[in-house]
Amino acid sequence: MRSTSTGVDFFDGKLENEFLFMNLLADQSAEANIRLRGRRPRGEHECRRIINYMINAILGTKLGQTQTFTPQGQRIPVTEVVAGPCWVARVSDHGTWKNVQLAFGNKKNITKAIAGHMKKAGLEKQKPRFLREIRDANVETLAVGTTVTASEVFAVGDKIRVTGVSKGKGFAGVVKRHGFHGGPRTHGQSDRERAPGSIGQTTTPGRVYRGKRMAGRMGGDNVTVGGLEVVAINAEKNTVMIKGVVPGAKQGLLLIQKE
């Protein structure tokens, strides 16, 4: 057992990464006290969670949707997501804020530029499928090459928001794209049932207003869904069960953030 200036006795067992424990001892913030509530952490897993409190997001991919039951017997829809492990590939300082670049996934082949980038971070064995930056202001204790997992970032019951690219629908008309009701089926307008109707006036203004809802390509947009909840976390399989639905197709990239 060891004591720090925070007044909390920390676990002094064998940690796989001594860097984690040293950072925990050096932590002068009240975050450790808030999370521990006066007790010592339960081994390396909780030490990692306290150290990585400044990381509020992780990358993942969508597996699919299913359902589960709460302890009260209520059936709820859930989405299964593979979240992490992610590797810190770069920490960049922009003055008033700092960005953390996370690498996630695996590919068979990567470009030489990405290979050199990962080698510089000490992650030459990794061939990431995705590289994304997360804006964060508190990354002083986060080193390049650190592994971040979902169980370190989230806990059951956390409120989160998920960002992904919605499914592409192709070129769609106004009925499907904007929910127009269409024209009447009778009175000689058999060909106007799904037509957009008038798109403007006459000589004044003599143009179509910007933002007029018309037919066009639908889907493939960045969509963020908030108010979701973490239902379960499987640390062995790196999966997270999220209450509700998240945007995107299966195997699509997701950014999962705390609210």
- pLDDT value for 90: 87
CA angle 125, 148, 127 (to 5 degrees): 25
Bond preceding residue 205 cis, omega within 30 of 0: yes
Q: Which residue has the tokens 């192709």?
A: 170
Bond preceding residue 85 cis, omega within 30 of 0: yes
Please state, as a whole number, how many other Cβ atoms lie within 10 Å of the Cβ of residue 182: 15
- pLDDT value for 18: 47
- pLDDT value for 170: 95
Low-confidence stretches of the chain (pLDDT < 70) are: 1-54, 136-141
Please state, as a whole number, how many other Cβ atoms lie within 10 Å of the Cβ of residue 98: 18
What gap in Å lies between CA 100 and CA 255, rounded to an integer? 13
Instruction: Read off φ and ψ for residue 135, nearest 5 degrees.
Output: -80, 125
> pLDDT tens, 83-132?
979 988 888 877 777 788 899 988 888 889 999 988 888 888 888 889 99
The pTM assigned to this predicted structure is 0.71
- pLDDT value for 189: 83
For each of the domains in the chain, give its residue range(s) and CATH number, in order of start: 2-53 (no CATH), 55-83+153-168+220-259 (2.40.30.10), 86-148 (3.30.160), 171-197 (no CATH)
